[in-house]
Amino acid sequence: MKDTLRQIPSLKAPLPECDPLALPDTPQDAFALWLHDALNAGIREPHAMTLSTVDENGWPDARMLILKNLDERGWHFAVKAESPKGRQIENRSHVALTFYWSALGRQVRLRGPAIMLSDSECAEDFLDRPVSSRASAIASRQSEILEAGEGLESRMAEAQALIAANPDYVSPGWRVYAVAPVVAEFWQGASDRNHKRLRYVLSGDSATWDRSLLWP
C-alpha cells in the first residue's frame, strides 16, 4: 500500500500563484473570492465541506456537508437535530469546517462556535429544499440501525403524502447553524512544497481580524 500511495501524484503543477497578503481583510470576503476561483476552474461541488464535531466521549467525528450560505454571521449548514452531528453540536457547539479544492491546491480551515439561526430561517431553509429532499429528511432516522423488514419506502410515501397535504410543513427537528469562526486559515499549496498560509484571528470583541503569514 505504501508504494501505491507514493505513486499517486499530489499538488501537480501548474497551480495558481497566490500573494496571501493580497487577500481581503475578512475571511468571508477571502472565501468568496476563492470560491469564485473554484467555480471558474470548473471544480465540481466547491461548496462541499467537512464538518468536524466532538462526541460526548471527546472523540472527533467528521462528515461531508454542503455550504448553504455565507454572511457576516458565518458559514451556514443544515442538520437534523436528532442526528449524531445535531446532538454533538447541541452538547459541544465548537466545530471545524474544512474546504479543499485539489485542482487549485487550496484549502480553507475554520474553527468556531456553531450558532443556531432563528426558527423562521430554519423553516425557510427546509421549505427551499426539493420535495424529495424534504420527504427524505422527514422519513429518515439518520444513522440509526435499519432493521430487517423496516419499510423505508413506506415511510417515504407517508412523508410525501404529508407534504402534499401540507405544503408548508416543516420538520420540527430541522436546524440551520452558522459557524462564526474565531480562526480561519487559507492555504495555497505549491508543487515545490513552499506552501503559503494566511491565518485570520478574530481580535477580541471588536469584530476585526488580525492576519498573519505562517510557515509552510
Interacting residues of 8 by C-beta distance below 8 A, sequence separation 6+: none
Side chain identity, residue 139: A
Interacting residues of 173 by C-beta distance below 8 A, sequence separation 6+: 80, 81, 82, 86
Q: Are 187 and 107 in contact (CB under 8 A)?
A: yes
Interacting residues of 133 by C-beta distance below 8 A, sequence separation 6+: none
The residues annotated with a catalytic role in the active site are 193
Q: Are 214 and 200 in contact (CB under 8 A)?
A: no
